[in-house]
A and B are shown apart, each in its own frame.
Chain A
Amino acid sequence: MGLLEGAFEEGVITTSLEQAINWARESSMWPMTFGLACCAIEMMATGASRFDIDRFGAGAFRATPRQADLMIVAGTVNYKMASRVRRLYNQMPDPKFVIAMGACTCGGGPYYKYGYNVVKGVDLVVPVDVYVPGCPPRPEALLEGLMRIQDKVRAMRHLTKGQPLDNLVPARTGRVKLPPELETLEKANEFVKRNKEAAAPGKA
């Protein structure tokens, strides 16, 4: 864009095709209606007027996977449903994204140990992009997850076919950060070593 930047009069914006596609894609993330259990109630609340997922362009809940970009798996996935989840995921057009919403979907939740019929995390069935924990998560948390999906879309390259970058710079998320002594792996290893030395029982 360097050559064309500012070459035209005011009101004309130049951009790369990639950025334009990414911008269009991130601001029209159409989710699929995929309420499986109680988290769906919170997903509906997110779509309603108080939280209003339409502000992010993701309010058009589609009843068919062919028209959807985003699958918000909201609720307990049991083994009978798992094959259907996979099938619906396969029917979605690329690029497709998955949000695992709620404790049951993320990792089995309270059914982790004794639930004989519950999939221990939907990432065993479909690749999950963003995990939103909670039982159920607040609507704000779901919006936060949606924003992370949008971050991911913004980072897509090679005419949006490539994989998103590894180190994303979240626009707003990541409030819980590691303290400075744990920032890098080396520092963290040092820290753990120091801790262990300090914790070694003294010679009696």
Chain B
Amino acid sequence: MTSNEKITMRQLQVLIILSAMGTGAIVLPRLATEYLPVQNVWVVAVGLAVLAVAVGVLICAAARAAQEACDGSFLEMVSFLLTRPVAYAICIALWFKIVVAAGFEIRIFLELSRDVMLPNTPMWVVGGVMILACAYAAGKGIETRARVAEVLFALMAVPVLLLFAVALFDVDFSNLRPLYVGDTGAAIRGTLRLGFVLTGLECLLLVTPYVPRERSMARAVAGALALAGLLIVALTTITIAALGSGAATELWPVLRLMDAISLPGAFIERQEALMFGFWIITAFMLGNAMLFFGGTLLKDLRKAPADSGHLRSDVSDVSDFVEAEEISRVRKGGGQRAGGGLHAGVAITAAAVFGVTLLPFSPDEIFRQMNFMYATSGVFFLLVLPLALLIAAKITVLGRYKILAKMAAFAILMAFAGLLLTGCWDKVEIEERAFVVAVGIDAVEGEYKVTLSVPIFSDEEENEDAHIKTAQSATVADALAELAERDERQLFYGQTQMIIFGNTLINDPDLLPEAVAELNKNLQATQRIHVLSAESAADVLAKTPHEKIIPYAEKSIMNFYDFEKLIASPLL
């Protein structure tokens, strides 16, 4: 029943590290502030690391013991130790837990991507692509996944360490004081409730058949989890140190971290894209881990016959080369190692996960739901059991209608592709963007006068003032909307270098907060923007040709985030 695939201990460790750094790590600082003041949140992170190691070791011990009793797939082991029906129930419930956990994790990732990367792309497209990629990887079997993990780990290790090293110099560790206030009860509660941050520990049970028996799994797993925990502790500590109290208010404080770090001599300015690359990779690894284990559970439940797939065991990454007969078993299949059973299981799991990601919750609700789920898994089992049995029956039927299923899959794929043809949602040709290089706001008679400096990049001789746009309106939003109407291009604030507040605005306590809030909405808060003041922002901008603004902006003065430290300095 088991596939002959095996992975090495080193590969298992890498898989664990990459999967454990799920999106929960990003939100940990924010969530932990519900239990402890922001400076002490790192305590929760340490608690989580310890908890994870303890749980991991426990699971390994249990898994090894079970393997001693009955060497086989997870289902076989459990049905041998407990009874068969109980085993089935557990497997199905586990499958559901995996589906929901994966769904929520990916959903958080999608919220993140909408905030930072692709604001206009529908979530189901991004989610669909991510899940398809995870399904593709999961369908290839655990050996392939392990090799991918090895390569990704090697690629990511150096940049991550570099980033941490640079961050250590840039952040202000005094933000961590006072070091620990002493509310141990809250700390423990926080740790337990936030256990979901180190996601996927239950999959350790399922990975046992693939790990060689001779070596000590507990030690390897403990080491990997300790390292993952250490990374999360470091990440949390640095985030707090960098952002201070800001860590409590942001939903994704770790991304703000990139803003605080200035890589020396870095060509790329918005490092959050790079950081986001890391999260894409960890979400991918987590997603395909969940899909793989979900698919394996379904495959075991369905009792895939001992045909293609299983017998094809070639060079497993552990043992020596095996007989030539086994290699040649699947010739035309082209790399289908784990067989059709796994593919069907992964497909069904992927569809379920996709459904979960589309549930209409807000990010906060998602966290509450995850908490709820983890706290009350027991109740969940009872509700779902009959439904699960029905599904299990349907799965067996599906096997006979493989061709229909393939046609359905093809039709869905075509429909999906057709939908994609409707256009790219976030793609804007570079010449269609109006890059707003500077924003100036004055208060005139109780209204806002907004001036934008939008350079025109063309060879033709233009009117000297063509790059300045002014509008006056009761709210900043209206003014900006009016300006957007005037220009056929799309106003883009990603390259805004400076904001100038006129003195009239600064001195007006009613108008200033709204202006700031409105700007906050439009600008990505990870930008480095100089905030300056002048007598009249409009005049200053009108007199400064954009060729002067651009080189001037290259010099770094200060961080937009520390808004309280507004410096009054005239531009000219």
Do A and B come together as binding partners?
no
